[in-house]
Amino acid sequence: MTTSEAPARIAVTGLAVMGSNLARNLARHGYRVAVHNRSSARTKALIEEHGHEGDFVPAETLEELVASLQTPRQIIIMVKAGAPTDAVIDELVPLLEPGDMVIDGGNAHYADTRRREAALREAGLHFVGAGISGGEEGALNGPSIMPGGSKESYQHLGPVLESIAAQVDGVPCCVHVGPDGAGHFVKMVHNGIEYADMQLIAEAYDLLNRVGGMTPTQIAEVFRGWNSGDLESYLVEITAEVLGHFDPETGVPLVDVIADEAEQKGTGRWTVQEALELGVPVTGIAEAVFARSLSGRVEQRKAAREAFGSPEVLASERIADQLVEDVRQALYASKVVAYAQGFDQMRAASAEYGWDLDLGAMATIWRGGCIIRARFLDRIREAYDKDPNLASLLVDEYFRDAVRDAEAAWRRVVVGAVEAGVPVPGFVSALAYYDALRSERLPASLVQGLRDFFGAHTYRRTDREGSFHTLWSGDRSQVDA
């Protein structure tokens, strides 16, 4: 920390772990950073513990924070999404001047971001909803940053954000995502994919454990091996860490003593809600959200266990080798489906809101820093570079071949799991999605027939244009609708 009077380049308000780590990241990159927290104890703690890392300007009040900044001002808000964010914005706006920028780095709902952006635009201010992924560690050492908002705001902010973001092959994991809520929408889908990815990993573990008879330590080794192939990713890497860890108190694998009730803060649920609105089938993400909800229904689970008993799985080590390879392939294929669905959702939102999202660029900024960073995001980027209008990631040559190659193993895994009574909603729904998408005919024709029968909802025909209705309760002749 220095005592010079030069104005600060940028500010951070909200100094819980994410906020203070982001401020430290900025300071470590040579920016003079003004820092503020509602209760000044946190500001003091940051300066005491980390003041030596760079050039911090502590502020007691928001007025002081604003006064310490060069213009146009850039203020990053790192507080809880929802009402706390609105409260800070309301307090901040009267202190600002046209051209200043307010950046929300929390996990805001994109609709809130759209609302806030419109309101601040009215006041001549820029509001930037920036998704930031990578947890505490990422915030400090290089997150993936997904800023939305005006192009003009990005001209000022982009260089700063790009410099503190993770870098992969010299390319920053930060790009201007699009106007208003685009950044937070993309972050939301990132989190939805994160849910799906984790659910698939958990199912893979469950199968190896309950069907393959492998211990968490053995499965940790399997994941470690997988992390040097196509599945290489942060989540696979940390799966090996978690599964390989022993509880110091009891001496058993930690995973065996963690309560099996998964929690959620809501971004996965938002992803599914928005997908429903947009009519995009994100079945992998939905199954992951529901699997977490189901795990938390403790009373219901107990009642069902008492009524039916737990499935008795006869683990057989004999089949483990084959199973490991099959599960690896099923995991990979299901993961491709989950990502394909998430990218479909971003494309649909882009069309709906006129965001003009560059899907290849989204894959690029997810290659490093974020929770779903993975080797195969390079493949996704390549796929969209080749064809920005790709009908589905699944039909890109590389992924088409990968999924085709995995198909037999994928089916064996799903059949085996269903027979054994091990729930694999992620694997099953991914396979069903794949089969549905490539089916020549879907039974949606019958659904249409039924809708026409009970509600005269009409149907279209395969052989000519128009809408038709059958006089079901009359002579059953067909009429133009």
| Positions marked catalytic | 187, 194
Q: Pick the closer one to ligand 6PG by CB: 137 or 247.
A: 137
Read off φ and ψ for residue 233, nearest 5 degrees. -165, 160
* 190 annotated as ligand-binding: yes
Q: Which residues pair with 144 in a beta bridge?
A: 133
CB of 395 to ligand 6PG, least distance (A): 28
* 51 annotated as ligand-binding: no
* 107 annotated as ligand-binding: yes
DSSP state of 16: S
Q: Pick the closer one to ligand 6PG by CB: 107 or 470.
A: 107
Residues 6+ apart with CB under 8 A from 322: none
Per the structure block, which two tokens stand in for 444?
Answer: 């949606």
* 295 annotated as ligand-binding: no
Alpha helices in 51-145 (DSSP H): 62-67, 83-92, 110-122, 135-141
Read off φ and ψ for residue 10, nearest 5 degrees. -155, 160
Report which residue type is found at 399. Answer: F
* Dist. CA 59–CA 52, nearest whole Å: 17
* Dist. CA 469–CA 237, nearest whole Å: 56
Residue nearest to ligand 6PG (CB): 133
CB of 18 to ligand 6PG, least distance (A): 9
CB of 202 to ligand 6PG, least distance (A): 13
What are the residues binding ligand 6PG (CB under 6 A)?
Answer: 107, 133-135, 191, 194, 264-265, 267-268, 370-371
Q: Pick the closer one to ligand 6PG by CB: 17 or 391.
A: 17
* 398 annotated as ligand-binding: no
* Dist. CA 351–CA 58, nearest whole Å: 43
Q: Pick the closer one to ligand 6PG by CB: 216 or 268.
A: 268
* Dist. CA 76–CA 481, nearest whole Å: 56
CB of 392 to ligand 6PG, least distance (A): 24
- In three-state secondary structure terms, 413 is helix
CB of 267 to ligand 6PG, least distance (A): 5
* 38 annotated as ligand-binding: yes
Q: Pick the closer one to ligand 6PG by CB: 43 or 191.
A: 191
- The annotation places the binding site at 14-19, 37-39, 79-81, 107, 133-135, 190-191, 195, 265, 292, 451, 457
Residue positions forming the annotated binding site for substrate = 107, 133-135, 190-191, 195, 265, 292, 451, 457
